[in-house]
Amino acid sequence: QESREISSVIASLYDVFEELGYDLIRASTIIFEGDEEVLHEKAGKRYQHIYPDFTQMRFPHEAHRQHIKTMKWDHLEGLPNPWKGHVAEGAQLVEEESWWNRTLGIRDRSKAFARAVNGRCLMYWCRLKSEGTLTLTASDTLSNEQLQTASRFVEVYDYSLGRFLELKQKEAQNRELAVEAALERVRSRALAMESFDDLNGVAHALYEALDGLGYSILRSTINVFDRDTATLSAWVTLTGMIDRKS
């Protein structure tokens, strides 16, 4: 759900810039998550036969950092804050696209992409306060006025993304607390056992714990095999009902 929401916003940003007359090849954002980076990208209709829209494509942060170090980045000068720019053309464009294809684990389409953009594209990117980047890849130069206008949309996106990621983090923390509480209920029931008959309650506690965490389960079962009598006893909780079969 999170990946769909972020990708939907990037698609909307692309559409807005297109309506404003920006000749974009694609709009993309990278979210930093620990040691990984997560790419969400929307490509223009003219290029979707080469690259589909990318949703939550993960790759190592260190690999990207090292790749940037090895490339000959010719940063465009005179761009308004917070933008930085780069021109990729010819063999360098193919090399950069090929690296992305390998890193994302997709078929190498770098040469087809280079042909589609006539061997040249410009990348305008900015660092987000919400731990990530946003890049606009264009087929022609974006004016400072266009970039200043884009900055207003990026500011709104950055703020909204920050709030979204903050809420997701809180949800994850609350989820972990709920899991710990459920584990403690099952653990307490198991530690209170005095006989095999008490497995009825453990099976029930296990079922209720998983059901309360949102798992779609039909039943929870505890099986005990007695080697001396060659019998199998099962304590089963099924849709909230406790049953014991031997």
- Give the number of other CB atoms < 10 A from CB of residue 192: 11
pTM: 0.71
Q: Which two tokens stand for residue 193?
A: 């056992």
The pLDDT tens digits for 62-75 are 888 888 777 666 67
The pLDDT tens digits for 149-167 are 999 999 998 898 888 878 8
The pLDDT tens digits for 108-154 are 999 999 999 999 999 999 999 888 899 999 999 999 999 999 999 99
- Provide the strand spans (E) within the chain: 24-33, 36-43, 54-60, 84-89, 120-128, 132-138, 219-226, 231-238, 241-245
Between the two ends of the chain, the Cα-to-Cα distance in Å is: 43
Task: Tally the C-alpha atoms within 13 A of residue 118's C-alpha that lie toward its C-beta.
Answer: 5
